[in-house]
Structure 1
Amino acid sequence: MTTQQPRPAMTMREIREALGHVQPGIPEPTVQPTGYVISCLPEGHIDRWTFTVQVKYAGRDRWTVQHSIRHYGTDNTWSYEPDHGEDDAAEAAWRAEHTFDHDTALRLAKQLAPTLTYRGRSVADALAGSTA
């Protein structure tokens, strides 16, 4: 008399393939959020993008905090990304000083958004002016 060995449980992927929900051998797509828009001005306001901070995914679980083309750094100042040329070490050092974990980047962006200025105008000035 032969006893049948129990089969190991099927993985969710195997179940979905058996049901025809996914094609065997083709990986499922992944979804990667890549950015946030943080602004005190409402959507549609004519000056919204002038007074907006963006948090952008920089890879390897790191995020940048940007206002236009300026990057916020761990030294609490804005700076432009320099041309690193072929100097990989300098680029890596600069990136380390201008990227944050997800939660820190969002916290900083929320703190910075109300403080933005452009040509002497503040967020409050923009809000007091015309809206689209």
Structure 2
Amino acid sequence: MTETPEATVQATEYEVSILPEDDINRPLFVITVQYRGEGRWAVTRHGSCLGTDGQWEFGIKEYDRGDAWLDAHRFDLDTALRLAREAAPHVICNGHTALDAYRRTHPTP
């Protein structure tokens, strides 16, 4: 009888936002950090991908891009999470940033 290999578990996606998990606006302002293989992660939001230059560029499919583009839009996990955290307050939806949304729903006393 052939032995069954042990199942492996791997995290492949993180959500990054300045809005709390239970905030009704959170889904509109979430940035996703997704594993893309070979130790490389993409920082994505609504079909766009964050580059090393801090700019969002439409198109996240690896087969659509060359190696130079991928090198500018794929990161090790620590770098991807840092970039996502830095970008999180500035995500825009309907002309408002995530920080605007946070301040509207979580006013300081």
* TM-score, normalization by structure 2: 0.82
User: Would you say 1:104 and 2:79 are equivalent positions?
Assistant: yes
User: Would you say 1:25 and 2:3 are equivalent positions?
Assistant: yes
Output one character per residue of 1:41-78: Cα deviation in whole Å (capped at 9) or x when no partner: 11121210111111000011000001221100122210
**3-state SS of paired residue (1:32):** coil
Task: Report the identity percentage.
Answer: 39
Task: Let me know the Cα RMSD of the aligned residues.
Answer: 2.5
**3-state SS of paired residue (1:129):** helix
Counting matched residue pairs gives 106
8 Å contact 2:49–2:60 — kept in the other structure? Answer: no
Runs of 4+ in structure 1 deviating by more than 3 angstroms, as ranges, are: 88-93, 128-131
8 Å contact 2:48–2:60 — kept in the other structure? Answer: no
Distance change (3 Å), C-alpha of 1:90 and 1:116: closer
- 1:90 to partner: Cα distance: 4.1
Gaps of at least 5 residues in structure 2 are: none
Larger Rg: 1
Q: Aligned partners of 1:99, 1:92: CA distance in 2, in Å?
A: 10
Match of 2:40 among 56, 62, 75: 62
* TM-score, normalization by structure 1: 0.69
Distance change (3 Å), C-alpha of 1:111 and 1:69: same
Larger RCO: Structure 1 or Structure 2 (Cα < 8 Å, ≥ 6 residues apart)? 2
